[in-house]
Amino acid sequence: MRGIKHVILAWFIGALWHRKDVQASPLAAQSDAKIAIQCVREIRDFCLMAQYRSHTLQTTWYVTQYLPQLHECMHVFSEFQPSEADREEAAKAAKDLAEGHTQQATTH
């Protein structure tokens, strides 16, 4: 699990920097990209520390540092938060899918 967290960060950075808007708009998009990378890095670091079975004062300090830093940079993802209509549509699709599986199970 620890290794996958590093792979996710590397993949995220690569995918983000290959977006055309980041390459075309050097200042605004790259600034947001850097904030997004920092946010993913904070999530990764928090998860790495939080999974320890026991904590020392130092690991507790790290965790308490990562959370506020994470919350400071999360705004960069706010445009991707689902609207209420998106949530309702997803709930309906999940319900339809579940009903479809139920109907298939009763016919077999």
Only one residue has tokens 């339809």, namely 96
**For the whole model, what pTM was predicted?**
0.57
Greater model confidence, 17 or 91: 91
**What is the 3-class SS of the chain, one letter each residue?**
CHHHHHHHHHHHHHHHHCCHHHHHCCCHHHHHHHHHHHHHHHHHHHHHHHCCCCCCHHHHHHHHHHHHHHHHHHHHHHHHCCCHHHHHHHHHHHHHHHHHHHHHHHHC
pLDDT tens digit sequence for 64-95: 888 888 888 888 777 777 788 888 998 999 89
Is the CB of residue 12 less than 8 Å from the CB of residue 19?
no
Question: What single-letter amino acid sits at 70?
Answer: L
